[in-house]
């Protein structure tokens, strides 16, 4: 309103005020342009026809699923590109004290590339976001997650921490936002960081919706619809807890760009740094998982950090700004990197985020709803009993002459010689 009415000030406005209004208008236009350009460059405004056209131009390769005894790399082993990577990690995995003594150690294996069926080169699958500002913003959020959040897979290489909702500890399952901060943050800072994480995953989710074939996104949407689970929103209790829409913010050119009335992310994800895991499979409540590698600083092809899908003998070379979609029920894993296992700040840096979900989360969510319904029913029953008791006390006959007062009603006179008490007509 101030900007639209500035012309009406005429000669009564000072030159200083006119300049201030002009500067304000210029800033607003600048922010609007950044918002418009960011949405367009990221493809967040793509129509369904544009998404279908983009998918139709992607190269397609059909591979035969390998027999169980011919999976490569083989299940239950960490993968190493060469012996120089293998030796220090062998000691760390097989000989050093393990975080969980009950878990079987997965011995490192030297990769035989001749046994692989197909390799996706580093230049073939990059440029998912295609914006260095966005990648820098995401990198900052993962940096904070590494410093502030608990690593949940200490027997694996690198860091992996939960973002969003958690099923709680094994000893105490409970549906809540992941309570995994390992250092004290200033008041309000923890919530701000949670909102940053939720925004990073909201952008990731909206990018996926504008890039992936319909059958993949529809499977995710169907799962959310069946489970009626809340989206990744740290303020989920302040509004409609199962709403899947809301706002999120991203940083572009040192400006905050707000995206309103957008689809929020799936309930849970992870943030990782220099993470590697032996070839394994995961039971998850949805068929597909998605992973985005933000950066791959200081690495070359021979330094590891590559992704493998053993069920098809696929080797996907690590590269910055890379998207990988896979089925977690198939054997897969990430190779060890040329890093010292005992150095927390390696000179090589590979970071990313991924949509993965604990198989326990939907069941814990249902238990949470049942518990909430029970508490609400008990509260309603308690309130009803309290009202009945108050009404009984109110209409109880006094022993002698007395006055009984009803709020906002005239005083009623009762005496010991009157008829039995009753409510006023």
| Out of 109-123, 243-257, 328-342, 411-425, least confident range | 411-425
Task: Please state the rounded mean pLDDT for residues 236-241.
Answer: 77
**Residue 1 confidence (pLDDT):** 40
- With tokens 């022993």, the residue in question is 399
Which sign, positive or negative, has the C-alpha torsion 232, 364, 103, 316? Answer: negative
d(C-alpha 139, C-alpha 273), whole Å:
10
Task: Please state the rounded mean pLDDT for residues 190-211.
Answer: 96
Task: Please state the rounded mean pLDDT for residues 320-349.
Answer: 91
Task: Please state the rounded mean pLDDT for residues 90-113.
Answer: 85
* Architecture in CATH of 48-359: 4-Layer Sandwich (3.60)
d(C-alpha 208, C-alpha 288), whole Å:
12
Q: Which of 166, 128, 163, 356 is nearest to 271 (CA)?
A: 163
With 50 as the cut, is the pLDDT of residue 405 above it? Answer: no
| Out of 211-215, 221-225, 416-420, least confident range | 416-420
Name the residue ranges covered by the structural domains of the chain: 48-359, 364-392, 395-425
d(C-alpha 358, C-alpha 167), whole Å:
7
With 90 as the cut, is the pLDDT of residue 27 above it? Answer: no
| Count of positions (residues) in the chain | 425
**Residue 20 confidence (pLDDT):** 66
**Residue 380 confidence (pLDDT):** 82
Give me 1's structure tokens: 């309103």
pTM, entire model? 0.82
Average pLDDT, the chain: 84
pLDDT band at 255 (very low <50, low <70, confident <90, very high): confident
**Residue 53 confidence (pLDDT):** 92
Task: Please state the rounded mean pLDDT for residues 315-321.
Answer: 96
With 70 as the cut, is the pLDDT of residue 31 above it? Answer: no
Proportion of the chain in helix, strand, coil states, percent, rounded to 5: 35, 25, 40
Task: Please state the rounded mean pLDDT for residues 36-40.
Answer: 88
**Residue 74 confidence (pLDDT):** 97
Do 357 and 268 contact (CB within 8 A), yes or no? yes
CB atoms < 10 A from the CB of 288, how many? Answer: 19
Cβ neighbourhood burial of 406 (10 Å; 0-12, 13-18, 19+): exposed
With 60 as the cut, is the pLDDT of residue 423 above it? Answer: no
| Out of 48-62, 244-258, 403-417, least confident range | 403-417
Q: Which residue has the higher pLDDT, 87 or 9?
A: 87
With 90 as the cut, is the pLDDT of residue 170 above it? Answer: no
């Amino acid at each position: 309103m101030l900007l639209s009415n500035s012309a009406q000030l005429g000669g009564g406005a000072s030159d200083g005020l006119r300049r201030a209004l002009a500067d304000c208008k210029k800033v607003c236009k600048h922010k609007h342009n950044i918002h418009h350009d960011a949405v367009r460059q990221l493809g967040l405004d793509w129509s369904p026809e544009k998404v279908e056209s983009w998918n139709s131009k992607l190269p397609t390769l059909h591979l035969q699923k390998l027999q169980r005894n011919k999976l490569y790399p083989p299940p239950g082993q960490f993968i190493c590109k060469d012996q120089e990577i293998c030796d220090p990690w062998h000691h760390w995995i097989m000989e050093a004290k393990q975080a969980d003594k009950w878990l079987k150690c997965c011995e490192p294996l030297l990769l035989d590339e001749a046994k692989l069926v197909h390799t996706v080169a580093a230049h073939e699958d990059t440029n998912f976001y295609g914006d260095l500002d966005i990648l820098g913003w995401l990198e900052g959020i993962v940096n904070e997650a590494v410093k502030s959040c608990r690593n949940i897979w200490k027997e694996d290489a690198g860091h992996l921490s939960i973002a969003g909702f958690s099923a709680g500890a094994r000893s105490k399952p409970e549906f809540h936002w992941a309570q995994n901060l390992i250092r004290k943050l200033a008041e309000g800072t923890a919530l701000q960081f949670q909102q940053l994480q939720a925004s990073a995953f909201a952008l990731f989710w909206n990018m996926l919706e504008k890039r992936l074939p319909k059958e993949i996104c529809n499977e995710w949407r169907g799962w959310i619809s069946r489970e009626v689970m809340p989206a990744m929103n740290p303020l989920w209790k302040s509004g409609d807890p199962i709403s899947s829409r809301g706002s999120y913010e991203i940083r572009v050119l040192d400006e905050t760009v707000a995206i309103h009335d957008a689809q929020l992310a799936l309930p849970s994800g992870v943030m990782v740094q220099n993470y590697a895991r032996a070839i394994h499979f995961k039971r998850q409540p949805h068929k597909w998982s998605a992973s985005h590698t933000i950066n791959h600083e200081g690495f070359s092809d021979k330094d590891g950090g590559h992704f493998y899908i053993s069920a098809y003998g696929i080797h996907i070379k690590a590269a910055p700004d890379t998207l990988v979609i896979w089925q977690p029920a198939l054997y897969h894993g990430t190779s060890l990197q040329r890093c010292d296992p005992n150095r927390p700040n390696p000179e090589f840096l590979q970071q990313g985020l991924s949509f993965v979900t604990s198989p326990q989360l939907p069941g814990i969510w249902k238990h949470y709803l049942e518990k909430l319904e029970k508490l609400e029913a008990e509260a309603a029953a308690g309130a009803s009993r309290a009202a009945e008791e108050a009404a009984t006390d109110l209409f109880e006959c006094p022993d002698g002459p007395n006055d009984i007062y009803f709020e906002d009603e005239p005083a009623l006179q009762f005496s010991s010689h009157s008829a039995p008490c009753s409510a006023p007509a």
